[in-house]
Amino acid sequence: MPAPVDFLKYIDDNADRFIDRLGAAVAIPSVSGEAVHRPDVVAMSAWLDQQLQDLGVTTKIVDLGEQTDEKLHLPPAILGRIGDDPKKKTVLVYGHYDVQPAEESDGWSSDPFQLVIEDDGRLVGRGSTDDKGPIMGWLNVLEAHQALGRELPVNLRFCFEGMEESGSEGLDDLIKSEAAKGEDGWFDGVDCVCISDNYWLNTRTPCLTYGLRGLVYFSVNVTGPTHDLHSGMFGRMVHEPMTDLIALMGTLVAPDGTILISGIDELVPPLTPEESEIYENIDYSVQDVDEAAGAPIALSDDKVTLLMGRMRMPSLSLHGIEGAFSGSGSKTVIPASVTGKFSIRIVNPQTPELIELLVKAHLEKEFAKLQTKNVLTIKNIGDGMPWVTDPKDPNYEAASRATEAVYGRLPDLTREGGSIPVTLTFAESLGVNVLLLPMGRGDDGAHSTNEKLDRSNFIGGSKLLGTYLYELGPKE
């Protein structure tokens, strides 16, 4: 059924106040990956929990225990529920309230933890699109129904976490535990799942995402002397860890994106004509890549090649080096130990276990060629499986109708290049369809400087989330 007119009007009429609430959320620097900000992540959980309670949601704060290899307590998960009508479908909503690190010195045009409303409607701030904006969208839906005295068209369950940007530690165990409880579990009776933690491919066309690449994240450490050395005294006298590491990192991926580790690209199934047609029909262009990247740096002039590079092919990206000198000036040190970090986005039928074997074999072979006396250590520091679902499921069909109702056009059906490991956990643990329903645009810059969410997407996306619930219809 279509969403009520008064619901849509309420979202429009209260847009400025909703943006203020987003600003309040952005102002809490809930960076899960930095110990100094762990109290802020916990503060964000308390703020969100109170917001949900104020909107009529029954909540439960779940202690997830201690963080592995860290003397830190994990931020809690928030479970919520509203509605228990057996005639209605029950939808589980997932989101995360933690964010990536951000410093103004990184290149931000303003304080990343103060939401800036620009003249063109861009809402700039860390977490605005990933993932505080979508979470606020759900709060907007709840508030509209509460204020209008309307019953929600479905029963809602919520699962919000504070460690998604740091591996979602503890969340899988929670989901599996709740699922195993059956009727006594928090997720009992869930018919489908909705996640809004991804983005349109471009700036103009809404989409629904039915596939995700998985991820394997590696650290490669090279250690030599017991302490840093002076290059004037030891240069060309010792094996230098940085030299070895740079050589190793250069054997992983070619400038054109080709993965140089034997066996990884070869695992990808051949492209079928039917699949090729899907990519041909997606509203996308090379210009979309260049606009989102902020520079004309696309790897190819062919749209289909680019889309396959994002959706159906694995990719390897180099992320950084720890232990090396990175300050201003000219410090002439030979680092005693350096660690390179890189990740590989994987696709079906690849698995983290198989990729790890191939990566370690490659690095050990290349390290042996260096004939160095330094020591190599390779670690898998995080991984997740790829995921694909049926885009013809009623869950997706409802989201497609809702998208057409709000934006006046049917959405593209896409597979996403990013990874949301919890998607597969929900699908396997609950045995239901999982929908990825994005709010933001392809140029939002999640994880980057000047991350933003357009006002039109925040308000339109709030309408979309609510309309999707109405299009699901009653339980059959």
| CA 175 to chain CA centroid, nearest Å | 18
Six token digits for residue 377: 């250590």
Distance CA 134, CA 453 (A): 10
Q: Torsions phi, psi of 317, nearest 5? A: -125, 135
Pairing of strands 90-96, 214-223: unpaired
Task: Give Dmax (Cα) for the chain.
Answer: 79
Which H or E element spans position 59? strand 58-62
Judge contact between 439 and 458, C-beta under 8 A.
yes
Non-local (6+) Cβ contacts of 328 within 8 A are none
Asked if 216 contacts 356 with a C-beta cutoff of 8 angstroms, the reply is yes
84 counts as catalytic: no
Tokens of residue 225, six digits:
């002397």
Instruction: Give the integer Cα–Cα distance in Å for 119 and 258.
Output: 41
40, 143, 164, 178: the active-site residue: 164
42 burial (CB, 10 Å; 0-12 / 13-18 / 19+) is middle
Q: Tokens 């520079």 sit at which residue?
A: 295
Q: How far apart are CA 25 and CA 426, in angstroms?
A: 26
Non-local CB neighbours of 231 within 8 Å, separated by 6+ positions = 332, 333, 334
Per annotation, catalytic residue among 40, 49, 98, 366: 98
Structure tokens at 145: 């129904």
Q: CA-CA distance, 44 to 46, in Å (whole number)?
A: 5
C-alpha span between 265 and 258 (Å, rounded): 8
Distance CA 115, CA 29 (A): 12
161 is catalytic: no
In angstroms, the CA 61 to CA 77 distance is 6
**Could you give the CA distance from residue 319 to residue 457 in angstroms, rounded to a whole number?**
30
The answer to whether 11 and 466 have CB atoms below 8 angstroms apart is yes
- Annotated active-site positions, please? 98, 164
